[in-house]
Amino acid sequence: MIRSLTKRFRALFTLRNLGGKVAIEHISKCFNDPSALLKHELAYCLGQMQDPDALPILIRTGEDLGVQYLTGEDLGVQYRTGEDLGVQYLTGEDLGIAETCQLALQRIEWLQTQKDDEKDHLSENPYNSVDPAPPSIITDVKQLKETLLNESLPLFDRYRAMFSLRNKGGEDAVLALAEGLKCSSALFRHEIAYVLGQMQDDGAAKQLSVNLADANENPMVRHECAEALGSIAKDSCLDILKNYKDDKERVVKESCEVALDMSEYERGPEFQYADTLAKLKSATA
C-alpha cells in the first residue's frame, strides 16, 4: 500500500519515540527511498535515538555521496570517539559535507575534554533535542549575536552561540538568529532554520519566508525554512507554504506538504504528532 509522505513522517517519528533495535531496523530499510527529504529525516531520527545499533547504518549511508551531508552531523551526536567518522571528507570538494564532518568531530573532542565546571554552567535545552554542539557559557544576547554572525570564527563556536540564543529565547534572541539566515554557509543557514522551527516564534517568519522564496537558495535550506514555518503555524505562514507546495525542487515541495500537515497538528486538537501507533491500535480495536 502506498502511503502519503505525511503519514510516513508520522510513522517515522513514532518509531523514533519507540526506540529499540526493531525500530532502528525498520527505519534503516527506507534509505533506498528516492525522497531526499525522507532520507534526511531518517538520519536525523537515528542520530537523535543515540543507540549504538544505529551507528553501522549511519556509517553505511554516510558512504553514499547522496546522503553524506545528511548523516555526518547525526554520526556526530552518536559518537564518543572520532574513529571512522567521515575523516576522509574533511577536505573534500563539497563544503557542506566537510563542514558537517568538522563540526561533528569538534563536538566529539569537546565531549572528551569538557570540564565539569563548564558543563555545570551551560544553559538547559528546553526542546530535549540532541544538538550538534553544546550551548555557549555566554548569556549576553549582544555578545552571542556577535559570535553567531562572525564568519571568521570556527563554525563550532558559532553553533554554540546559536544554541545559547535558542535556549535563552525571547524577541531579541529570535531576531539575532534570523540574521543568521543571511550568512554564507548553507549548513549554518540550515541549522538556523531548524532552531527557529523549534522556537516556533513568528518573529522569524519574515526571514524564513525570504529564504524559502529564494530560488537560488540551497534546496536543503529552503526545505528547513518550510518546516520551520509549518511549526510556527500562523495563518500567514500557511499561505506562504501553499505558494510553494508545487515547487520544482522536490525536497522543497515535499517539505511544504509535511509542513502543512505539521501546522494542522500545531493548530488542532491532536494530542501528539507521532500518532501512528495510537491510530493503528484504534483501527484494530
Annotated ligand binding at 223? The verdict is yes
Is the four-CA dihedral 30, 31, 37, 43 of positive or negative sign? Answer: positive
The string of DSSP letters for the chain reads: ----HHHHHHHHHHHHHH-SHHHHHHHHTTTT-S-HHHHHHHHHHHHHHT-GGGHHHHHHHHTSTTTHHHHHHHHHTT-SS-TTSSGGGTT-S-HHHHHHHHHHHHHHHHHHH--HHHHTTSPP-TT----SSPPPS---HHHHHHHHH-TTS-HHHHHHHHHHHHHH-SHHHHHHHHHGGGSS-HHHHHHHHHHHHHHT-GGGHHHHHHHHH-TTS-HHHHHHHHHHHHHH--HHHHHHHHHTTT-SSHHHHHHHHHHHHHHHHHHSS-S-S--HHHHHHHHH-
Annotated ligand binding at 121? The verdict is no
Annotated ligand binding at 224? The verdict is yes
Annotated ligand binding at 41? The verdict is yes
Name the amino acid, one letter, at 89: Y
- Say which residue the cell 569538534 belongs to: 106
Binding-site entries for Fe cation:
40-41, 190-191, 223-224
Binding-site entries:
40-41, 190-191, 223-224
